[in-house]
Amino acid sequence: MKPDTKLPKVGTTIFTVMSQLAAEHEAVNLGQGFPDFPVPPRLVEELDRAMRAGHNQYAPMTGIPALRQAIAAKTARVYGVRPDPDAEITVTSGATEAIFNAVQAVVRAGEEVIVLDPAYDSYEPAIELAGARAVHVPLDPRTFAPDWRRIGDAIGPKTRMLMINSPHNPSGAMLSAADMDTLAGLLRDTGIWLLSDEVYEHIVFDGARHESALRHPELRERAFVVSSFGKTYHCTGWKLGYCIAPPALSAEFRKVHQYNVFCTFAPAQHAFAAMLEAEPEHYEQLGAFYQAKRDRFREQLLGTKLRPLPVPGGYFQLVDYSAVSDLDDVAFCRWLTSEKGVAAIPLSPFYETPPAGQRLARLCFAKNAPTLDAAIERLQRLP
């Protein structure tokens, strides 16, 4: 007997599909967003130390105190505001769990959540599982900037949450301080909650400043702010993140978290607590580390027929492939992987309604130089 699906739009994610295709064709995988270089040595040492010290059983549901305190200190250092470690910080099994928890905590059946397209593919399933509806508002198809008038027009009596993502996946676009002020004005005097996906918060370039919702007092009081240790410390497989939210929102968030995973990987929590205290320079220098990779990769792409778009933040490079092919983006990425040996991610799965004629693909440059060099060698042979 086959059950009625609760997620009729959902199949296997494009990331899994393209990674499987890359493995099948022995392609250089610049599709799925994961680094291929080591995690910081201290982090591995601290993880080993934690496991040998016996920290292998359940952690406290909200996260070990030392880690929550370290997150509070780091947040104060970076954003000038210190959240309450006990009432406002919850450690999660990755940012995706935090996003799911936030939606389930406050969004009810029949309500609406505004999502800005292109959007990460976990957003809408979380909304649908809450019995709610995602209202998609497109970003500018060239700059990926928000159209605040259109976003304001999308707000209605059923709107319960608005989701933002900066630096943005897949484009790398970033919200400015003026954007955050405009957003605050839109949400003022409403009952709308904000979910701010900030997993690439430390990967910003060219002297820019990440405008976290935590910097903005008016937004902070209505926001779930989601961060990722996996993105910051090159260990996506550890699946550790956290959510900062005001006490009343955190209380509701934790009701979902405790019956979702209850707690997350205990030894890693001890390792990150030690790492945050001992090496703050890691996250402080992360932008410069990735900017060098971005600049080198962009320079190499100029020797191909792919046109790189600007990348203000994050570790993805969008390329316009119009000079290479008239195929739609899914077909092009399959062809590029199977025939040319480089895996990329198409943009259309990030949209409800992709822009007509858009010819863009996403490449991940969070890779060692030899990996990127091997990809460029193959991309230079594109017809």
Q: What is the domain-level CATH number for residue 345?
A: 3.90.1150.10
Are 218 and 115 part of one and the same domain? yes
Q: Do 183 and 218 sit in the same domain of this protein? A: yes
What does each of the 383 residues of the chain score in pLDDT, given as a tens digit?
878 889 988 877 888 888 898 889 899 999 988 999 999 999 999 999 999 999 999 999 999 999 999 999 999 999 999 999 999 999 999 999 999 999 999 999 999 999 999 999 999 999 999 999 999 999 999 999 999 999 999 999 999 999 999 999 999 999 999 999 999 999 999 999 999 999 999 999 999 999 999 999 999 999 999 999 999 999 999 999 999 999 999 999 999 999 999 999 999 999 999 999 999 999 999 999 999 999 999 999 999 999 999 999 999 999 999 999 999 999 999 999 999 999 999 999 999 999 999 999 999 999 999 999 999 999 999 98
Boundary residue ending a domain (249, 279, 309)? 279
What is the strand order of the sheet 316-320 is part of?
307-308, 316-320, 360-364, 345-346
d(CA 112, CA 117): 15
Q: Is residue 48 part of a domain?
A: no
Is residue 46, in this structure, part of any structural domain at all? no
Is the residue at 7 inside a domain? no
Decide which of 279, 307, 330 is a domain's last residue: 279
Picking from 247, 262, 279, the residue at the C-terminal end of a domain is 279
Strand segments (E) across 200-350: 223-228, 241-244, 307-308, 316-320, 342-343, 345-346
> Model-level pTM?
0.96
Instruction: Determine, yes or no, domain membership for 122.
Output: yes
Query: Is there a single domain that holds both residue 30 and residue 110?
Result: no
Token representation of residue 287: 């932008």
Alpha helices in 80-197 (DSSP H): 95-106, 123-129, 148-154, 177-187
Give the total number of structural domains in the chain.
2
Domain residues for the domain of 304 are 14-39+284-379
**Helical (H) or strand (E) element with 248:** helix 247-260
For the record, the structure tokens of 213 come out as 């919702």
Largest CA distance in the chain: 58
Do residue 275 and residue 288 come from a single domain? no
| Residue 8 within a domain | no
- Which structure tokens are listed for 366? 């969070």
If you count them, how many residues does the chain have? Answer: 383
